[in-house]
A and B are shown apart, each in its own frame.
Chain A
């Protein structure tokens, strides 16, 4: 690669002391050196990570990592890929934070990943194979351990009738003869030898320190294995389940029953199942359930309508209040404008969670100041959270409070960008204030604000936080079997279905429902963009 050419390509457009300055070459070399050093660092990191991923058996993520790293290298080395360089970080993050979760959600929706099916098949098989049962040769022993200088362990086992054995990984289980030459001098405290060959006896306390190693000790004795089961006992038992990966069968060695995996559960021919189950792909069943289960389908239309009403009314209210205040604040005749501006923006500075919770307190029919005030003034205390309609009003009220400062800020900015000449011209043409607002302010304002209104609509469409903090979806709908409350919107309803509907945590099902919601929102957004485009035409005409 001819350095000069690529040097001119690599130069930052905004670089103030580019090729013209006498010191042009060193910065270029420096920059190239830095680029290569950074790439080397990134590559080293990526390689190390890929190796550790591969070592954990995660081959696909490791391969993906390598592909991405190669792409990064290419982008930074190739002159042709120069423009992509500025996009690359964004693209990477998009892959990681948007595309990957999306793909994973779609995958999840086709599985049965939910309570009772959280583990992988390998994990479940490993758990099953760890289980033991007592065969006819089973025995319980008291144990003491001897540790050799090289760190291997020998157990001194005493069975129920007082017969003693030596056992270790290498020699298996052996009965002890009294004159065994390996036995060292007897410790008067417990009557056991202090040493066996090279190995020295560990006290009970010392044994605790080595328990993490001792738990892996497995001594073969016939068909059985001897393992330490507690600080005082060891047991000779047999493996209960054996998994045959070729035939995909889990066999119970005690009864001979064979279990076959059926949709994430090991199931015997007679229908008996083993717990826990594992996550498995079960097909589009979750989507089917969303459409057929009466508990879910029943309230869907109502929830759907309220979601639209909630999002639409929220945007309308927020925009009206925000714009109204902006018009007032933009009025030059208003005294102390600066102070009012700061004051009105205050709700924006308070975290929404806190505001929402404060509102819940304010509206409490029992001790809330709003209700106490209403009661003393009008003798009327609205049950905000017990009545469906009032709960909806309360939600909209809180949401307007939370959202108007943003619209106020945006509108203030947009109002100031409208040139005064237009108003002067309108005045000369004899337009009233109202006409000025209707034909100049609003259309020009909407050009810049409309995309934000759509954004606000989409945001409120999924505004889980406000619903859950203010009413938790309540009040409940009487006479139905659904967990949907009267103020639940689609997303909070999904949450209730997936996590609170008496089904435990059903991740797979909630993934399916959120995909369905995604389609709904995508449709709305597409429609909205069309709508904005027509607004842009307005601006072209102005």
Chain B
């Protein structure tokens, strides 16, 4: 009897252990799909960056590494299904097995940085162009040659995915923010910034909304159109069009004008502190705000909310407002064991009309594949594509990481009215210059 009991205990223990192993090995659900998060960029309070910064237990699974003869691809949750389907088709056609590993969008980059020094890595990742500085300077990506296929890609995308004159990615989509507006409250989208402010003020005065226009607080990414619209810039460009880290334009007259504009909107109640991405979305979806700016990742959310919405280009300020453009693409790991095969997978299989169409159908976005872009009929996506075409590629140079932090701090200080706008932005620029000088 006693023995039986022992045996039973042992069996339970083994079962539990097996169960624990089982759940440990299964790909755990990771951060929100890319479709709902803004580009990787900002280490600032964007919805994507917040879960990253917090010490939440991110998936502790050990990602699958590349093995010779098997293509291993790391993608975020939003694209796992489509990549698995594409992988199966590739296997059927070429007889090469494809393994798709799901990771959170930012985890793809972080895990690559951990795997590389151990001589491991996937073959292919899907990443954002502004990771390039970090990944290439650490020797984690292999240069890519698209051959004759290159001319079918948006040149902005190719340029964004190049670093030090070499191409490191196959561009797949470009994204930039635009203005969402509630057609019931704002029949015609504002053409100028003055107009936008007047509409917002009127709606607030008439108590039709809580906040006529909302902008995510302290977030450089969503605030950049105001900076560029008032003539500010982040880094100047050298003769070849690359960003020049020695020419910081945050505290240029235009940058200061933009900071003062934000300050005056705070003072007149047109902008509010303590708004984050969730508040911004909730207010709009409940009809409590009439306008806000964000990217195509919010489309599904807004559509589901049954708001009579429209998407328009960002209104003109003293000059045309240019949003940051993010480019996502397929990149080849320097530690993959099948680099030639990986490159062939991209040029022969991904860079085709059918695959690009399938990728678009899975996650609608402004495609970087020109033959497909010509065919996009979704008018919202068309606006976002136009916005991206007129935007500035987010700087990918490593010095940009200094900028995000200090810039975000300056905007927070302005929002919270802890410091005059001009002083805050000048302090930030000074900090960034010191850090760039120190790191050289």
Q: Is B273 an interface residue (CB 8 A)?
A: yes
Q: At the interface, yes or no: B406 with Cβ under 8 Å from chain A? A: yes
Q: B54 at the A/B interface (Cβ < 8 Å)? A: yes
**16 interchain pairs, CB-CB under 8 A:** A115-B398, A118-B116, A211-B340, A214-B340, A215-B339, A295-B431, A295-B434, A353-B56, A365-B273, A366-B275, A386-B273, A472-B53, A475-B413, A500-B53, A501-B405, A503-B401
Which residues of chain A have C-beta atoms less than 8 A from B45's C-beta? 472
If the complex has contacts A209-B94, A468-B55, A474-B412, are A505 and B340 also in contact, measured as CB distance less than 8 A? no
Answer whether residue A230 sits at the interface, using C-beta atoms and an 8 A cutoff. Answer: yes
Question: A504 touching B398 by the CB < 8 A rule?
Answer: yes
A275, A385, A469, A481 — which one has the most chain B CB atoms within 10 A of its CB? A481
Question: Is A464 interfacial (CB 8 A cutoff)?
Answer: yes
Is the pair A211, B137 in contact by a Cβ cutoff of 8 Å?
A: no
Do A383 and B341 have beta carbons less than 8 Å apart?
Answer: no
A123-B119 in contact given A212-B69, A476-B412 (Cβ < 8 Å)? yes
Q: A367-B279, A386-B416, A468-B54 are in contact. Are A504 and B95 (CB under 8 A)?
A: no
Q: Is the CB of A120 within 8 A of B405?
A: no
Interface of A is mostly: loop
B68 interface contact, C-beta 8 A: yes
State the Cβ distance, B339 to closest chain A Cβ, in Å: 6
- By a CB distance below 8 angstroms, the chain B residues around A312 are none
Q: List, in ascending order, chain A residues with CB within 8 A of B434's CB.
A: 295, 481
A-B contact count (CB 8 A): 157
Q: Which of A499-516 contact B (CB under 8 A)?
A: 500-505
Answer yes or no: B334 CB below 8 A from chain A CBs: yes
Hey, what's the 0/1 contact readout for A467-486 against B, CB within 8 Å counting as 1? 01100101110111101000
**A349, CB-defined interface residue at 8 Å:** no
B352 is an interface residue with CB less than 8 A from chain A: no
**B contact residues vs A (CB 8 Å cutoff):** 43, 45, 53-56, 68-69, 93-96, 113, 116-117, 119, 134, 136-140, 145, 147, 272-275, 279, 282, 334, 337-341, 343-344, 347-348, 398, 401-406, 409, 412-413, 415-416, 418-419, 423-424, 427, 430-432, 434-435, 438-439
B134 contacts which chain A residues (CB < 8 A)? 115, 504
CA distance A260 to B423 in the complex (A): 45
A366-B274, A366-B275 as given contacts; A127 in contact with B139, CB under 8 Å: yes
**Interchain CB contact under 8 A, B341 and A211:** yes
In the assembled complex, which residues on chain A have CB atoms less than 8 Å from the CB atom of B413?
A: 475-476, 478
Chain A 205-219 interface mask (CB, 8 Å, partner B; 1/0): 100110110110000
Is the beta-carbon distance between A208 and B402 smaller than 8 angstroms? no
B113: chain A residues at CB < 8 Å are 118, 505
- Bound-state CA distance A275–B163 (Å) is 12
Q: How far is the CA of A387 from the CA of B340 in the complex (A)?
A: 56
Instruction: Check B137 against A475 for contact (C-beta < 8 Å).
Output: no
Closest B residue to A480 using CB positions: B427
Contact status B341-A483, CB under 8 Å: no
A365 to B415 CA separation, bound complex (whole angstroms): 14
B344, A211: Cβ atoms closer than 8 Å: yes
Q: Taking the complex as formed, is A229 at the interface, i.e. its CB lies under 8 A from any CB of chain B?
A: yes
Q: How long is the Cα–Cα vector from A70 to B402 in the complex, in angstroms?
A: 51
User: With A and B bound together, what is the CA distance between A475 and B430 in angstroms?
Assistant: 20
Q: Which residues of B contact A209 (CB under 8 A)?
A: 94-96
CB distance from B397 to the nearest CB of A (A): 12
Q: What residues of B have a CB within 8 angstroms of the CB of A295 in the complex?
A: 431, 434-435
Nearest CB of chain A from residue B227's CB, rounded to whole Å: 18
Q: Which residues of B contact A123 (CB under 8 A)?
A: 116-117, 119, 139
The answer to whether A127 touches B427 (Cβ under 8 A) is no
Interface centre among B53, B139, B418, B430 (most CB of A within 10 A): B139
Besides the known contacts A364-B279, A502-B432, A504-B398, 10 further A-B residue pairs in the complex with CB atoms under 8 A apart: A115-B398, A116-B137, A118-B140, A205-B94, A208-B95, A366-B275, A383-B416, A386-B274, A478-B413, A481-B431
Q: How far is the CA of A30 from the CA of B195 in the complex (A)?
A: 89
Task: Give Cα A276–Cα B398 distance, bound, in whole angstroms.
Answer: 13
